[in-house]
Amino acid sequence: MKISTLHLSTLATALVLATSSSQAWAHSSHTGGIQSQSNPNALAPFDIIHTKITTEGDVATFHMAVSEQAGSLKPTPTGKLAGSDVFSYVWPTTLNSSEVGFEDSAGILALAVTSHPDFDDTPLYDENGDGNKANDGDVWHSHWVVLEQNEQCGPGALGVVDIPEGTTPKLPKTWPGIPILIDSPDYEPTFSGKSLSVSVKFDNIEALKLAHFDGVTSGLRVNASAHAPLLCVVDVFDIASGDLTLPGKVNK
């Protein structure tokens, strides 16, 4: 895989600076993956205690468990796009971005489950079933995102990679038309008590089986000018491994 050690160390530096989560391996109710000690400094619905990825056939299940009701907290609406907030449950991986339809080695590929009441970035789907495909941003939904360090987001901070005006990079078929490296596939997240999971079908499941992963809960914000950088990570609630070394192994 071409994803570089620099990419991963950058992600670790940027996120670890923002959190004091610690790691343990003793949650008997969860098996495999990354087991994490409860973090008293994290909001309970974003306090990660377990993260894993498993596969069956060509379908992968991304799982995360937290201390209290998963998905129970959503951002407060602001009434406008610029400056609005996004809450997210994220699985950063070492999987090459080309495996889901982006350019080769475009950055750090992550699956994210997000909620953001001030805008809708899933134009192909009607998540709340009201017949309007443009008003579902507050419903928890899934994305692939490509991340990189962006000093315009703040010292050592990360942002979703912007698409420069006038360029035409390779993009997934379900790219939502927003000028960042984001995909909006129809992967419906399932919430059950303290857990959430997402099932994803892969064309090349063998590549995923070789990947490493971690778990992160975070807050992002749309730039106040709604311009590049469009979407920045502004808060890290918790990190499954504690140090973002991506120790998770698929099916382990």
pLDDT in tens, the chain (252 residues): 333 434 444 454 455 444 433 333 334 457 899 999 998 889 999 999 999 999 999 999 999 999 999 999 999 999 999 999 999 999 999 999 999 999 999 999 999 999 999 999 999 999 999 999 999 999 999 999 999 999 999 888 899 999 999 999 999 999 999 999 999 999 999 999 999 999 999 999 999 999 999 999 999 999 988 888 999 999 999 999 998 899 999 999
Question: How far lies 113's CA from each of 54, 94, 166, in Å?
Answer: 17, 18, 29
pLDDT at 200: 98
pLDDT at 17: 45
Task: Tell me the pLDDT tens digit for each residue of 114-131.
Answer: 999 999 999 999 999 999
pLDDT at 41: 87
Question: Residue ranges of the domains in the chain?
Answer: 5-74+82-249
pLDDT at 29: 54
pLDDT at 15: 52
- 24 with 36: CB under 8 angstroms? yes
Instruction: State the chain's mean pLDDT as an integer.
Output: 89
* DSSP code for 147: E
Alpha-carbon distance of 120 to 221, in angstroms, equals 14
pLDDT at 11: 52
Residues with Cβ within 8 Å of 24's Cβ and at least 6 positions away in sequence, in order, are 35, 36, 37
Tell me how many degrees the CA angle 39-249-64 measures, rounded to the nearest 5.
Answer: 40
pLDDT at 22: 37
pLDDT at 224: 87
Q: 5 — phi, psi (to 5°)?
A: -60, -35
Task: Tell me the pLDDT tens digit for each residue of 235-245.
Answer: 999 999 998 89
pLDDT at 94: 98
pLDDT at 156: 82
Q: What percent of the chain has pLDDT over 90?
A: 81
Among candidate residues 242, 240, 251, 252, the one with its CA nearest the CA of residue 91 = 240
